[in-house]
Structure 1
């Protein structure tokens, strides 16, 4: 019982991380067989996310092999620390200092797609808006009072919210964001940014389970084998029990 309680306590951060508000999520139509998308997603992750968020259960070498990225290209353009190609993908930031800057240590993102879901990440990265009341000047519809800056702002631009004001039965007013309008100051158009975010989501889904396509493909054959085995077993059973029945 004591070990069970310890395990449950250890899992509480995971449950909290998975919790979310009642927000509409846009569908992330990712494709793990699209190597170009995965390569683009890896590039975005290395350049914009890895500085704070590691994927500490994934190795650079595995990414190189799975995504058909030349090893030298990875070393020259996508590894920004003194890490070797066979090392796990950790960043070089001091956790204590990061906790002071952001109010907490940024989580490892290896399993974020499995915890949050691809749709959540896709919607979240497209839901930042200007909010001067927040420490970094931005807030997020999907994750209210978010503690991280909008690191992809130079790509998307700045979004301004449109609020709907409602009054509850106690006469208290509540402001709800109903729409976001981009100023189009980013390097990408809205469609290009959505595609870039989808590529990043695709990479994070891959990071959470690199052998997912292989597992799903093998699963079809396993089910077919079990179906044939069931037929053979049923016919064999009838043969054995024929004299009895």
Structure 2
């Protein structure tokens, strides 16, 4: 009995620790909104790729994704990718890397911006969508920006021209620290997009990062329908065969 009980105890402790970790992570940031992404929408993925390359790829890489694979999955030609989405001079078959030297990134941001290939698999699409929308101006931060979903993030709001500048509206205080709590964010200076348009832009970037985290997901979902149809047809044939075998058995 000793070994089974020890194993059960370890599993229970592990489960409890994981639950506490996820609870702490959820409590660390602000509310998360539903992204509503659709990986079957190639137009959304193409827009997301364009936005990512123009606004994010100068700092963040996608080292597990190649330009050629992206072109194949998103229905783009080599010429379109190399002319509009490749700003580093990399070859078509190479990985999507940033041109920013790591030593300069450390000087400018205090840390090297992370690779975003697997962010959607770690954080989830809803988190990315909410994070992109949650930047607000904060004069006390080194870069002048903060984020309600990921407080004290080192990243500036690179999408501010489209979204506009948000300022926090405070309501109540933290019982433990006495610090004011942010009730909501309010657009103080409008951007080039209205809220619905910016939501779609953030959704497109989120969809592209979800695709980048698991490129095979697009094909897997398409193939999955045919697999289910085959299984249904095979089940029907098996039922007919069973009926034929057992028709004379009483």
Same fold (TM over 0.5): yes
Q: Does 1:199 align with 2:223?
A: no
Q: Retained in 2: the 8 A contact 1:165–1:173?
A: no
CA–CA distance in structure 2, aligned partners of residues 46 and 105 of structure 1: 18
Look up the match of 1:136.
143
CA–CA distance in structure 1, aligned partners of residues 86 and 230 of structure 2: 44
1:129 and 1:85, CA in 2 relative to 1: closer, same or farther beyond 3 A? same
1:22 and 1:155, CA in 2 relative to 1: closer, same or farther beyond 3 A? closer
Q: Give the alignment's TM-score, normalised by structure 1.
A: 0.81
Q: Retained in 2: the 8 A contact 1:40–1:199?
A: yes
Look up the match of 1:174.
179
Which protein has the bigger helix share? 2
Which runs of structure 1 show a deviation greater than 6 angstroms over 4 or more consecutive aligned residues? 227-231
1:32 and 1:92, CA in 2 relative to 1: closer, same or farther beyond 3 A? same
Look up the match of 1:113.
120
- Give the deviation of 1:211 after TM superposition: 1.8
Look up the match of 2:155.
148
Q: Does 1:90 align with 2:97?
A: yes
1:45 and 1:167, CA in 2 relative to 1: closer, same or farther beyond 3 A? closer
- Give the deviation of 1:226 after TM superposition: 5.8
Aligned to 1:188, which of 184, 193, 200? 193
CA–CA distance in structure 2, aligned partners of residues 26 and 187 of structure 1: 22
- The answer to which of 137-146 and 99-108 deviates more is 99-108
CA–CA distance in structure 1, aligned partners of residues 163 and 230 of structure 2: 49
Aligned to 1:164, which of 171, 177, 200? 171
1:98 and 1:85, CA in 2 relative to 1: closer, same or farther beyond 3 A? same
Q: Does 1:122 align with 2:122?
A: no
Look up the match of 1:69.
76
- Give the deviation of 1:53 after TM superposition: 0.3
Across the two proteins, how many residue pairs are aligned to each other?
226
Look up the match of 2:45.
38
Please list every run of 5 or more consecutive structure 2 residues that lacks an aligned counterpart in the other structure. Answer: 1-20
Q: Retained in 2: the 8 A contact 1:153–1:186?
A: yes
RMSD: 2.7
SS in 2 for 1:173: coil
Aligned to 2:88, which of 81, 103, 113? 81
